[in-house]
Structure 1
């Protein structure tokens, strides 16, 4: 799993330095000069959906789900920054259980 995440990060052009002691991953949509003309959230969503469908940007939902299950344990404290509608938050809350804490923040 870790190798998959690091490979994905590297393939997207980000620094995937593998120090061996980190378990924090930040996922953002990659910057694309073709997307600069996008002026609305709907246009942005349509642009990235087309990129995923075209196979240009890998679907990282499976990678995220595997990462959550591998790294998040009962009793952990997790923070989901950019929680949006809580798609991943529910899974994180389930994984930390009643002994842990899941905090969702939408800037």
Structure 2
């Protein structure tokens, strides 16, 4: 994750934590991590790995996509980021669904 993206991500984590009126220490306890980890994420020093993101989103009572600035990323990057969040054992199913959706849209002249 590039530095600017880490900073934007951290800002959203901070905003979500403050929306819940939580201290960093309280969020860290909920996540089973340290206050330093929360601080590093909020300050853009560290990033959350994709497998950990659902846990953070749940603790902060936000949907996963809340943490992504869709306007700052091109569509390919957004798609790859979303696919990276999926468990590997479910990825093939999602890819097949996307393929059939694209084929259906093409058949119905919905793709330009």
TM-score calculated relative to the size of structure 1? 0.31
The structure with the greater share of residues assigned to helix is 2
The structure with the greater share of residues assigned to strand is 1
Higher RCO (C-alpha 8 Å, min separation 6): 2
TM-score calculated relative to the size of structure 2? 0.30
